[in-house]
Amino acid sequence: MPRLRLRFAGDLAIIRRRAKGTPSGALPGVQQMESVGNMREGIVLLVAVFAPLAGAFLLPLFGVWSRRLRDVSALVMVLASLGASVALVPGALRGEIVAWSIAGPLGLSFSLSADALAVFMAIVSSLVGSIIILFSFDYIRHYENQNEYYTMAVVFLGAMMGLVFSTNLVYLYVFWEITGIASWRLIGFYRGKADVLKADKAFLMTAFGALVMLIGILAVYGMTGTFDLAAMKGIALPLGISALLLVGLLSKSATLPFQTWLPDAGVAPSPVTALLHAAVLVKIGVYVFARLFLSTFVFDEALRTIVASIAGASALVSAGAALIETDFKRIVAYSTVSQIGFIFLGLAMGNALGAAGALLYILMHGLAKAGLFLSAGIVEQNAGTKDITKLGGLIRSMPWTAVAFLLCAFSVMGIPPFGGFFSKYMVISAAVSGDQLVFGAVFLAGALLTILYLFRLFTKVFLGEPHGVLAPETSRLMVACVVLLAALSLVGGLMVGWPSDLARVAISQMLGVAG
Amino acid sequence: MSDLLLLVPFVAVVLLYLLPKRARAVGLWVAFGILALEAAAAVLDRFATVDVGLLAPLEKLLGFHLATDGLSGLVILCTGLVGMAALLVARRTLESVNERFLFANLVLVAVVGINGMAMVRDLFSLYVFVEVTAVATVILVAAGRGDHVLEGAWKYIFLSVVASVLMLTSLGFFLLSTGGITLDAARTGLAANAPLAWIAMALFLCGLFVKGAMVPFHGWLADAYTAAPAPVSVFMAGIVTKASGIFALLRIAQSTLGGATPGREILLVVGAVTIVVGAFLALTQTNFKRMLAYSSISQMGYIVLALGGDLHLGILAAGLHFFNHAVSKSQLFANAAAVEKQLGTLDIDEMGGLGARMPVTAGTSAVASLSIAGLPPLAGFWSKLLIILALWNAKEYAFAAVAILASLVTLAYFLSLQRKVFFGKPLEKWAGAREASAGLLVPAVALALVTIALGIGFPFALRILLGGGA
Amino acid sequence: MTPLLLILTIAVPAAAGLLVLLLPSRRAPWAPAVLAALACAFELALAIYAFPHDVAFAWSWMGFGAEFALKLSRFSAFILLGIATFSFLVTAYSAVSMAKASSSRRFHAWVLFTVALSAGAVLADNLILFLVFWEGLLLTLFAMIAAGKTRPFATAVKAFVIVGVTDLALMFGVMLTGHLAGTLSMSAIRLPLDGLGAVAFLLLMVGAMGKAGAMPFHSWIPDAAIDAPLPFMALLPGSLEKLLGIYFLARISLDLFVLTPESWVSPVLMGIGAATILLAVLMALVQKDYKKLLAYHAISQVGYMILGIGTALPVGIVGGLFHMLNNAIYKSSLFLSAGAVEKEAGTTDLRELGGLGRSMPITTLCFLIAAASISGVPPFNGFFSKELVYDGALERGWIFYAIALGGSFFTAASFLKLGHAAFFGKPTNAKRTVKEAPWPMLLPMIVLAGLCIVFGVANSLPLERLVQPVLGTAMEGAHGGTFAGFPTNMLLVGLTAGVLALAVANHAFGVHRTGKGIGAVDHIHHAPGLSSVYTLQATGVLDPYRMLVVVVGVASKGLYALDRAIDWVYSGLAAQSALAASWVLRRAHNGNVNRYVLWALAGAIAVVLAVLAVMGGGR
Amino acid sequence: MIWFTLLLVVLVLAALWASMTTTLLRATLGLALASALLSVVMFSMGATLAAAMELSVCAGLISVVLVSVASLTRPRSIQEEIASRRSRLRRIWPLPLVLIAGGVALSFVHAPVDIVLRLPAGDGDVRTVLWSMRQLDLFGQILILLAGALGVLVLFRKEAKDDD
């Protein structure tokens, strides 16, 4: 019988666990605090999650005081996440898993755990997130509701961190939905009627998926009696439950047949679309897919065909749409949908090559696509339109933006030595080596379409005859951010060994095989 | 001390009337103080133990057969919180001292009724206290000023009478079949599978369904909520309907039904139907309060649905949802009051972009909306999760799925509300609108903070809740 | 010879390219060109030094079989030497021709990157590494065309897309090959040509042909001839791309797969080669622009190489590879002559040129040597390689030989027309006084023309030192171990001579008919049947790129409709039905209290009945 | 038994008439009749006290009050009468149906017919029952009266204010 009675039952335990080079085994439910010294890494983990998540709510207060202070502290919070994530890299490369947990009743233990996969994803999110926040300094300056913008953007990134490190399905869902709430506010940032409608649409579509996924989570709970991912490792999931979970993942990752909210969400300010479409939000689905279906459950062969088919259809349909659309950001958004298909392909193959390729894809696509969206932002803000039929010849007035755009586009197309090449190669190659030649061919067609629509976009916006006044680049900071992303895309390719090392550790932890 | 919960407000009402008319402004604060004490008592969990020596003579004299448990504490806590919020709203929205005084008095009367319901162990007493609350509430509704006030009150009375008839009939049947009308007696009768006892139970449940506005017994609710003055709707939506209908169901499910067939199935079906119909009804409403009203119906369906799940978890979940919804919905009605005070209208189609003018109201309403829609990390998510878990544990998968997917409709109408009222471009028409006064903001902010805090600290809270049992 | 030197062949040009990009060019506008030429000279020295060595090494890179593996073999040393030579000559040339262009700095940087990537592609011994270098050339290709003068971007995009498509095919082929072979190390792969292996081979072949510019992946080259800077044409479509494309084609035919005459892939290759020869040369024939005419020849000549390799006979392969080398020599020479003409006469439109022979004698001489060489006139180098290809082709089927021979006829005819129109006859544009080109431009031409003669007369030098070692043991026993010296099959030589004579006769006929050198082939141009094809081609309908764009356009419209349909399910169907449900329910709530009471009573009855039903059922 | 059944039927009919008629006076008469019949039933079942209360309060006192109130109202015109009757009939016809359905439903109950009332100890004396067993409910009744009083206060205040 439930009773309202104040009693501090149970214990708050901070645990830290090391598992050298082995796939993560069962995480002990509750352990006593080992020693203060060992808490250090746990604290790193907490900083990564809560510096932005909790700190965000200070931002409106800072904003009342000083705009500059608010902007800089937003950046600092995200950088703190990045720093904390990077600090976890050496351990992750050695195959160590840092974990931190508070035991809770009914399986609701709040557990964070940083394996290589999580660290990888955390770095991608916070790295791109930091650049986007930096970009926002000059971009958002011109609009109302700046406090809300920074709060929500930072909350979003914090929730992303939480999601990445969570090993409890319920908390994963919690962070998942926080990102949904934040993106709802962010998409409706301009407050126009259409904007808010699109924000609602995005929210509803992703929430629908999330709710279906919640049914799936409960089904898993019903099967295993736990929400703890580590405890359910190695379980074979019935296809029905997988399908329920998959609906959530697909909707969050804007994959067919839940893709249409993403282009619509292009009404948001460009840094937001960069954040949502490129780097972070849409990667949630693929990340959780990797976390659940590759890292935790026994990989189901039937799932391979299903997911790969969906991914293939998604890649082609949205690439086709990108060739027809005339709105700058919608095109890039469709491109995201298409590229997410590639990531799903890599994961769906269930082999080491595909999974590693998918991870690299997350990184490379995040960097490059963020660059594309931010370029779109520069163009939109300076030229006052994002209709590509009304743009043209901007390479003359915006040479840096144009070149950075092109470089990022090369990376998305998968042209070496840009990072996008390696990831694209690896995922398609995974299909081939998995004897799935048809999927390989489909995605090859997708890659071709990618080249076509990105060049179409580049040609229409930056080349050709100018329409009206050629708007110049007004903010050096914004241009610098875009150039930085382009440069990172290139460096990511030239130095592909670095992310690849981490990805390989992640794969070995996930699949239990050496990459 | 449980007797005090009945006596103190009652005595207070009587004493207030002895005050000189000049001093009537005090009435509101007296009521506020009593409610604050009530909430404190519920939280501190002292009312069952402290009074043994001190109040024994009084108890003996009165001879009330009261019993308290966690559920009583829960409803008393909610009453305290919601009542305080309603009183604060009343302070800013009711214009004359006299109106506020009367409001405070009637609230106190209703509170006695609710407290009584919280603690009785007897079906007839339950019925009596339900009626006490109903009468006080009807008068509260009728005391308003609008054109539709009487209509709302009238519908409330009318269906209340139906409920009374059903419940009285039921009591008669209980007397016939089991010879007793305590909860335990009824339980024995049901356990024996006596058909007449089950019919009696069904009728009593139907009476409570009317009170708790379960579909299809819900006709009165939207009109009454909409017609009622702002503080009254806060109070009604926050606690009255829930206590007199839903809490009573909770009590019966806990003490009498015990998860037996067919009571459980009735609760499941009625709950599910209510959730869905209420949610769809809310979707296209254009009156702020009416939308909230239908939302209330839908959410109360969740509580009833939970009662059909795994018994222990279900009651825990229902209780939590009860609390969360009481907090959030009264807060939303307080928000509605703030908006109405600024704009003079409740038609959401005429509103727009108020977020820019009333940021605190907008922010708190968003918190409450999302909490009710069951979005983490707010409190509403956890109670819904537990509800669904309870259903899942009872292998009621289809009902669990309905409960989950109906959340989407909930989210849809709340998003539509947010979009039309707060989250849009500021309209020229409302350039004069300002943030509501502190008096209206305090309850909204306080309740929103409760929602957030409970949401974030939920697992700890749950640990505490489970500490005693389960 | 250490691995370091191998790395240097890639790193030096790349570093130089980076340096060029970063240099402050305003102070020293000559610096990029000089730096580029120096770097290429260094590259050439390295290539010569490395030539006799065999080096291989591998560093671990990114896992999954991708190693940073380089290997210097006979073949790659040969190609590397070619790359270094041609890039050195072209940079020396462009130092002058591009000196005043605003894009000089960028252009030279791209040239250097191109050299670095080409060297990498040739040296790579790991398929992924190879792919990285190979596809990286796409970027420099794009950037170099984009550095052109007049609105070059459309052409750059076209080139990028076409080559990109073939590169994607190549990528797929690499994946398939790696999958079948179980390794990505090129020197360890040896697959039979059957089933999936054949598919893989064809995919790789598409990549190689795309790079080499064979049909149907050719259509950007004529466009680039107009839009891109001229040294680019000499460097990429003229020489480097042929070297790389044919290098890779030969690698897959000889090393990675076992191409035998019995395989069905062999006729496919030969067919593509033959088609390319004939169709491209027919297009070249009617061009009225110096550069464009050359561009079509650049395509047509690839056909001989593919045909040669496609025979799968040692004689054909040696002929194809030798032709690759020869073609690079005379084709870059021809392009450079076009550049000289363009620089001095201000145009490359044949209708405005004429009589340049007097004012530009050295250029004219170089042109004549190179033209004779491409037309297969003995004793220039082109003659010898073509004869070897003919020999192989005839052995595999007379039709291939016939087409190749026909190609020769049109080649000769078109160069007769070109030479006549540009260098002889009367100057049409008398206003401008034309001088001989400056020495830095002439020297590369002279060197290349000289090579045409040397490689013809002393053909044992290239054949025995460069080409034949590539085949290794396959050479033993055939033809006494060498194909050097004058062709032994006099019938073929005679037929060749006959065709050349026919071309001269045809030219005389045409000139007689129209009275001008440029009109020498008008009778073919306007021949019934052919003329309509030419018209279609002129409007671009036959351009495979255009077809691709149209097909993709239609497909994407369909896909977009599908996307909208899915969107409708949410924005339309789901939303509307929810609203409709809500509306119906709202309509039911009309505020009538009787109705509400009725509902409540009905509900109560239903509940009671339900209870009764359950209880009754329980009995 | 037949008489008893007949009484019940007439009672129901009277109640129905009271609720379905459109004039206040007839409704009042119907109510009074129903109450009177009810008290007869109660008498016949031995609940003398309840019967007396029912007869005096419901059939007597309330009827008087209602009749006097009705006399203060203006009778409707014939047109109004006809119009309202039609609409009223249209709206109220389900009531008998509901009753019939309810009756049918109840007839399915296979309840034991030999109902034995197990009244609480303290045999019969109303005062004892009320005070020793059901203090709480009495307290509730007091509260209802209090609330009613407050209601009168509120609503009449309001009337007065509206008159101003």
Number of domains composing chain D = 2
| Per-residue pLDDT, B331 | 93
Same domain, yes or no: D142 and D153 = yes
Q: What percent of chain A has pLDDT over 70?
A: 91
pLDDT digits (tens, 9 = 90+) for B241-299: 888 889 999 988 888 887 787 888 899 999 999 999 999 999 989 999 999 999 999 99
Cα separation, A328 vs A316, in Å, equals 19
For D156, the closest chain B residue by CA position comes to B143
Nearest to B109 among D118, D146, D158 (CB): D146
pLDDT (mean) for B382-403: 90
Task: Share the mean pLDDT of chain C.
Answer: 82
Question: How close D102 gets to chain C, by Cα (Å)?
Answer: 6
Question: How close C561 gets to chain B, by Cα (Å)?
Answer: 27
Nearest to A353 among C64, C135, C567 (CB): C64
Question: How close D127 gets to chain C, by Cα (Å)?
Answer: 35
Better-predicted residue by pLDDT, C472 or B431 = B431
Which ranges of A188-226 would DSSP assign to H, the alpha helix? 193-224
Cα separation, A498 vs A363, in Å, equals 12
| Per-residue pLDDT, A25 | 35
Contact state of B376 with A1 under an 8 Å Cβ cutoff: no
Report the Cα A71 to chain-centroid distance in Å. Answer: 22
Q: Does D90 touch chain C (CB under 8 A)?
A: no
pLDDT (mean) for B374-379: 87
pLDDT digits (tens, 9 = 90+) for B199-235: 889 999 999 999 999 988 998 999 899 888 889 999 9
Cα separation, A463 vs A406, in Å, equals 12
CB atoms within 10 A of CB A5: 15
The owner of tokens 């009672």 is D11
Name the residue range of residue B358's domain: 260-470
pLDDT digits (tens, 9 = 90+) for D67-111: 776 666 666 677 776 776 666 666 666 677 777 777 776 666 555
Task: Please count the residues of chain D.
Answer: 164
Residues 183-222 of B with CB under 8 A from C: 193, 195, 198-199, 201-203, 205-206, 209-210, 215-220, 222
Q: What percent of chain B has pLDDT over 90?
A: 31
Contact state of C593 with B219 under an 8 Å Cβ cutoff: yes
| Per-residue pLDDT, C2 | 75
Residue B357: its chain A contacts at CB < 8 A? Answer: none
Residue ranges per structural domain of chain C: 261-524, 591-619
Residue A204: its chain B contacts at CB < 8 A? Answer: 408, 411-412, 415
Nearest to B268 by CA among B390, B147, B353: B390
> Does D19 score more than 80 pLDDT?
no
Better-predicted residue by pLDDT, B90 or A280 = B90
| Per-residue pLDDT, C56 | 81
Question: How close C608 gets to chain D, by Cα (Å)?
Answer: 8
Q: Does B407 touch chain C (CB under 8 A)?
A: no
Contact B278, B218 (CB under 8 A): yes
Same domain, yes or no: D126 and D73 = no
Cα separation, B214 vs B245, in Å, equals 9
Coil, strand or helix: which one is C58?
strand
| Per-residue pLDDT, A130 | 92
Question: How close C151 gets to chain A, by Cα (Å)?
Answer: 8
> Does B16 score more than 90 pLDDT?
no
Residue C612: its chain D contacts at CB < 8 A? Answer: 105, 108-109
Residues 28-67 of B with CB under 8 A from D: 62-66
Whether residue B58 is contained in a domain is answered as: no
What contacts A157, CB < 8 A, 6 or more positions away? Answer: A52, A78, A81, A125, A126, A129, A275, A280
Number of domains composing chain A = 1
In DSSP terms, A112 is beta-bridged to: A100, A166
Q: Does B180 touch chain A (CB under 8 A)?
A: no
Q: Does D128 touch chain B (CB under 8 A)?
A: no
Residue C608: its chain D contacts at CB < 8 A? Answer: 105
pLDDT (mean) for A409-430: 89
Better-predicted residue by pLDDT, B397 or C194 = B397
| Per-residue pLDDT, D164 | 45
pLDDT band with cut points at 50, 70 and 90 for residue B1: low
Contact state of B199 with C599 under an 8 Å Cβ cutoff: no
C427's tokens: 């100057």
> Does D122 score more than 50 pLDDT?
no
For an interface test with B, the pick among A1, A4, A166, A226 (most B C-beta atoms closer than 10 Å) comes out as: A4
pLDDT digits (tens, 9 = 90+) for A59-71: 888 888 888 888 8
Contact state of A4 with B43 under an 8 Å Cβ cutoff: yes
Better-predicted residue by pLDDT, C131 or D137 = C131
Task: Please count the residues of chain A.
Answer: 515
Task: Please count the residues of chain C.
Answer: 619
Whether residue A242 is contained in a domain is answered as: no
Whether residue A489 is contained in a domain is answered as: yes
pLDDT band with cut points at 50, 70 and 90 for residue A28: very low
Same domain, yes or no: D60 and D132 = no
The owner of tokens 């049992």 is B469
Contact state of D91 with C594 under an 8 Å Cβ cutoff: yes
pLDDT (mean) for A362-385: 89
| Per-residue pLDDT, B333 | 92
CATH number of the domain that residue D89 is part of? 1.20.120.1200
Q: Does D136 touch chain C (CB under 8 A)?
A: no
Total-model pTM:
0.87
Contact state of A455 with C161 under an 8 Å Cβ cutoff: yes
For an interface test with C, the pick among D16, D89, D90, D95 (most C C-beta atoms closer than 10 Å) comes out as: D95
Whether residue B105 is contained in a domain is answered as: no
Chains linked to A by 3 or more Cβ pairs within 8 Å: B, C
| Per-residue pLDDT, C257 | 83
> Does B145 score more than 80 pLDDT?
no
In DSSP terms, A16 is beta-bridged to: none
Contact C317, C442 (CB under 8 A): no
Same domain, yes or no: D114 and D138 = no
The interface pTM score, or ipTM, of the predicted complex is 0.84
- Write out the H or E segment, with its range, that includes residue C83: helix C74-97
Residue B116: its chain D contacts at CB < 8 A? Answer: 136, 139-140
Question: How close A179 gets to chain B, by Cα (Å)?
Answer: 10
Contact state of C611 with B201 under an 8 Å Cβ cutoff: yes
DSSP state of C227: H
Name the residue range of residue A377's domain: 300-515
Nearest to C599 among B201, B216, B265 (CB): B216
Contact state of B425 with A208 under an 8 Å Cβ cutoff: no
pLDDT band with cut points at 50, 70 and 90 for residue A317: very high
Whether residue B356 is contained in a domain is answered as: yes
Whether residue A218 is contained in a domain is answered as: no
Interface contacts (C, D; CB < 8 Å): 22
pLDDT digits (tens, 9 = 90+) for C425-456: 776 665 667 777 777 778 888 888 888 888 87
Whether residue B286 is contained in a domain is answered as: yes
pLDDT (mean) for C259-268: 83
> Is it the case that chain A and chain D have 3 or more CB pairs lying under 8 Å apart?
no
pLDDT (mean) for D109-125: 49
pLDDT band with cut points at 50, 70 and 90 for residue A18: very low
> Does C334 score more than 90 pLDDT?
no
Contact state of C571 with A260 under an 8 Å Cβ cutoff: yes
Residue A158: its chain B contacts at CB < 8 A? Answer: none
Residue D98: its chain C contacts at CB < 8 A? Answer: 598, 601-602, 605
pLDDT (mean) for C249-277: 84
Name the residue range of residue D152's domain: 119-164
> Does B151 score more than 70 pLDDT?
yes
| Per-residue pLDDT, B114 | 92
For D154, the closest chain B residue by CA position comes to B143
Q: What percent of chain C has pLDDT over 70?
A: 95
Residue C596: its chain B contacts at CB < 8 A? Answer: 155, 158-159, 218-220
What contacts A37, CB < 8 A, 6 or more positions away? Answer: none
Same domain, yes or no: D110 and D128 = no
The owner of tokens 């939302």 is B295
For D96, the closest chain C residue by CA position comes to C598
Nearest to A431 by CA among A345, A340, A339: A345
Nearest to B199 among D109, D150, D153 (CB): D109
For B342-355, b/e burial (b = at least 16 CB within 10 A) is bbeebebeebbbbb
C129's tokens: 């590494």
Number of domains composing chain B = 1
Q: Does C615 touch chain B (CB under 8 A)?
A: yes
Nearest to D102 among C594, C605, C616 (CB): C605
| Per-residue pLDDT, A15 | 31
Whether residue A450 is contained in a domain is answered as: yes
Question: How close C605 gets to chain D, by Cα (Å)?
Answer: 6
Residues 268-327 of B with CB under 8 A from A: 312, 315-316, 319
Nearest to C40 by CA among C9, C61, C72: C9
Nearest to B388 among A104, A192, A218 (CB): A218
Whether residue A395 is contained in a domain is answered as: yes
DSSP state of B435: P
Whether residue A271 is contained in a domain is answered as: no
Cα separation, A25 vs A404, in Å, equals 44
pLDDT band with cut points at 50, 70 and 90 for residue C101: low
